[in-house]
Amino acid sequence: MEASAGLVAGSHNRNELVVIHGHEEPKPLRSVNRHVCEICGDDIGKTADGELFVACNECGFPVCRPCYEYERREGTQHCPQCKTRYKRLKGSPRVEGDEEEEDVDDIEHEFNLEEEAGAMRQHQAEAMLHAKMRYGRGLPADDDDRFSVITNPRFPETPIVGRSSRPVSGEFPLTIPAGVAASPLHKRVHPYPLSESGSGRYNWDFSRENEAWRGRMDDFKSKQALLAPDPDDFDPDMPLMDEARQPLSRKVPIASSKVNPYRMIIILRLVVLAFFLRYRILNPVHDALGLWLTSVICEIWFAISWILDQFPKWFPIDRETYLDRLSLRYEREGEPSMLSAVDIFVSTVDPMKEPPLVTANTVLSLLAVDYPVDKISCYVSDDGASMLTFEALSETAEFGRKWVPFCKKFAIEPRAPEMYFSLKIDYLKDKVHPDFVKERRAMKREYEEFKVRINALVAKALKVPEEGWVMQDGIPWPGNNTKDHPGMIQVFLGHSGGHDTEGNHLPRLVYVSREKRPGFQHHKKAGAMNALIRVSAILTNAPFMLNLDCDHYINNSKAIREAMCFLMDPQLGRKVCFVQFPQRFDGIDKNDRYANRNTVFFDINMKGLDGIQGPVYVGTGCVFRRQALYGYEPPKGPKRPKMVSCGCCPCFGSRKKARDQLKKGKPELHGTEDLAGQGFDEEKATMMSEINFDKKFGQSAALIASTLMEDGGVPPSASPAALLKEAIHVISCGYEDKTEWGYELGWIYGSITEDILTGFKMHCRGWRSIYCMPQLPAFKGSAPINLSDRLNQVLRWALGSVEIFFSRHSPLWYGYKGGHLKWLERFAYINTTIYPFTSLPLLAYCTLPAICLLTGKFIMPTISTFASLFFIMLFISIFATGILELRWSGVSIEEWWRNEQFWVIGGVSAHLFAVVQGLLKVLAGIDTNFTVTSKASNDEELGELYAIKWTTLLIPPTTLLIINLIGVVAGVSDAINNGYQSWGPLFGKLFFAFWVIVHLYPFLKGLMGRQSRTPTIVVIWSVLLASIFSLLWVRIDPFVLKSKGPDLKQCGINC
């Protein structure tokens, strides 16, 4: 890809393609004197004579030897620039069409490849035969080495384990190198032949026998660590080899002393709950039948909801990763890195709600990640086609040329400059480089100037010109109409031009804005992510993809390596569809008033799911396997062959059935041999005759070819111009029509919470996911600390769950056919879709205490001493379950209590509105607009925490607070008026009323705003509260004695 190719804009449907140059001023960089291949970007290299390799003698177009040979073998055999046929150069194999040469063919006579290969095979066979013949026999007395190998003068000695050689798969052969003592286990020792000299017929050669005996004893002592091997014969790479063969990760189960009591309490709570519900159903309250029935229905629903939430946490686990083993296996010194490539997706829509400076910090942290630069490609999706985002990304790319080498030189953490320079820590700790302080000051000044330039762009974007935005070269910005514009792609950093200030390569940085036209369904964020999948498949086609929101920067520079410990593990990784990281946030108040950290979900629920089939996908901080998003099923292990019997009575089956199966067989597939030979997966290549790939992936041959390459990569013969043209094609607005994109492939459509659907589909196919929690959080983002913004965010999540519940992908009825989804995993997915409906019984249950206090009735009859034990045991089991959860998870009790409080606050507000809006959308077709959560930060620290933004979501919890407070006052007043005997029934009512008030306390505190001034909303509600309380005071009249005798007006004097 060319970083200086300019902005490519076009529409495939309209047959338009425009390349806009000169939209940015070139920045001078340090010159790099290197000859680079124009196809793959690698060094051209030199010939055997030390001269620069020249593929085409006509025009001298720079091409390296691998690209030259690939073009002759697989391509058109012509020069990409002058279209002249390539001639065969010395050392290159012949291909069809080469001219006959009069001189001796260097391939057949100079190199003698066939003879050399045959001789090598013969040499290896002789060595193996010699080893088998010597197996179990004694070693020659004059042999200094522990092992000897037959040598051939034409070939070097074949090592058992080489120092620098390594298989491509990353595995090491399980053999013992020279110099390390061999184990005597399973070693046959034959008697030595009789000695020819000596007296007697059966005399042994005692000297040889004693020597052999001493050798065996030395072997035994070495094994027992009693005798160390000779230091001169020891291979220093052997411990590294052993370490690299170990697993890259380890599952760490929670200690049984913590989990077993937790499980016992869950079972006990389930039994107590069953007895409690039985008692409630069989003992109705006849004078308050309506209140009793409502409370029983609510309690049954709460029990079902608790079961769905609790039992998926039955098998909690932790995991450990070994980054050193990953490096030993895939990054050997002196060899190219064999780590898999990763495409990173960053999505943004509105630069006013998602500030460009926040997005820039995320991109800068990605460019500076601790991973090979040629394996990283960052794609930024601008779904709002904003020129502000485009120009800010251009500035970010230029600043990244200075920031990335600074981070890697001094091992900076975190690598987002805004977060790094704002850390209030000793930044000199562990820093020993003498130039660090000087360069840090210079870099901080550079970043401040960068912030000023970004702020200037934002200020400029506030006033939109009437004629629309115009680029620096005078061309109108193609995205002036955000709902009607062509697709746009700009490669800011690539192989050509993608160097930092020190001349080192930088990761690729690509700007993408998909085409939008009126009359097309664009599917919001899910559609933008699917467009990024297709663009990246054309340009880079990495086998793994990292998805991040624009406000989630990399806090741990080794985060991608952490994920690779699972995805590249030879045993575990083949069936892993994604690795999910927990979400961590900055800028939250220390008390976490509105449970923004969501610690209970990320540290308890997700650990429990990891022990079943894996965590759910939460929308960001997730590394995907590309093949899993393409709808492929995970690879299946070898199955046991079915028994074929002889056909007699005692046997099962028949010969006839077996013969019929052999006759049927698989149909012969044609045209897939070439694909299998070019690195495509053989099993997927055979599917080409059975599946119409055009209907599955769309009308793009390049995209279809990339989906069959399990290890990723782009053909080296493809030109950058052709790739960009094809990339514009796959982001056109009509590309997904009549395909499976969004329905079986990529991010799934049908809900604004596309993350839950996408992960659910992959789990239903049999994939499993991994939950990775490194000690240093991998990613950090921003959360809405304001009450109104927080409730709107929860409303969006809950509405998406309601949409999934009413869709065809509902976990209640989808995914049973294959049987791949485990039952406890299904329970967790069902809970994610029905939890908003808990708002209906929760709202009713929170209203019952106030009604009971105001009417003098109660939801329970007078209970006996035996029945009261069920209530006591139920409350004890509830608290014990929570305490034991905190014990094995490490979550603090304050975080647990904040989560319980916000469960009630969100349940009676956002979840309730989500159910109403979801029903309106399903029944009446009334759609709701997607609101992007604001990620702008206030200049004043935690200033947004006290801001009051009135919304209808605040009405239900406010009403509940008021009526419960009124009920408490009325109930206490009535008890004071009626005497001592009325206090007993009052305590139960007051307990439930205070339960509601305590859970809604953070909401009440949010309404109060700052303590230094009283907001207008408090005055309004105070007046309303006083009015309602006055009316109820007149109705109850608590200071007037109530007559307990008969009503004389109705009964008469003789009653």
Pairing of strands 249-253, 317-321: antiparallel
Distance CA 39, CA 49 (A): 24
The answer to whether the beta carbons of residues 711 and 700 sit under 8 Å apart is no
The answer to whether the beta carbons of residues 733 and 577 sit under 8 Å apart is no
Q: What tokens does 505 get?
A: 């390569």
Nearest partner of 904 among 1023, 969, 1001, judged by Cα: 1001
The answer to whether the beta carbons of residues 511 and 490 sit under 8 Å apart is yes
Cβ of 744: how many Cβ atoms within 10 Å?
13
Choice among 549, 569, 755, 974 that is catalytic = 755
Residues 6+ apart with CB under 8 A from 666: none
Q: How far is CA 893 from the centre of its chain?
A: 28
Nearest partner of 918 among 810, 841, 764, judged by Cα: 810
Q: What tokens does 379 get?
A: 């794609």
**End-to-end distance of the chain based on CA atoms, in angstroms?**
102
Distance CA 808, CA 814 (A): 7
Distance CA 667, CA 669 (A): 6
Sign, Cα dihedral of 834, 839, 845, 848: negative
Active site residue 755: yes
3-state SS assignment for residue 670: coil
3-state SS assignment for residue 283: coil
Helix (H) or strand (E) holding 877: helix 865-889
Per-position b or e across 789-819, b if 16+ CB within 10 A of its CB? bbbbbbbbbbbbbbbbbbbebbbeebbeeee
Is 382 exposed, middle or buried, given 0-12, 13-18 or 19+ CB atoms closer than 10 A? buried
Q: What residue type is 60 in one-letter code?
A: G
- The H-assigned helical ranges of 778-860 are 787-805, 823-834, 839-855
The answer to whether the beta carbons of residues 613 and 763 sit under 8 Å apart is yes
Is the preceding peptide bond at 414 cis, omega within 30 degrees of 0? yes
Choice among 382, 383, 500, 789 that is catalytic = 383
Residues 6+ apart with CB under 8 A from 817: none
The answer to whether the beta carbons of residues 752 and 32 sit under 8 Å apart is no
DSSP state of 883: H
Active site residue 42: no
Distance CA 557, CA 541 (A): 23
Helix (H) or strand (E) holding 959: helix 955-978
Nearest partner of 70 among 48, 49, 54, 93, judged by Cα: 93
Distance CA 104, CA 111 (A): 12
3-state SS assignment for residue 721: helix
Q: What residue type is 481 in one-letter code?
A: N
The answer to whether the beta carbons of residues 533 and 343 sit under 8 Å apart is no
3-state SS assignment for residue 331: coil
Enumerate the active-site residues. 383, 755
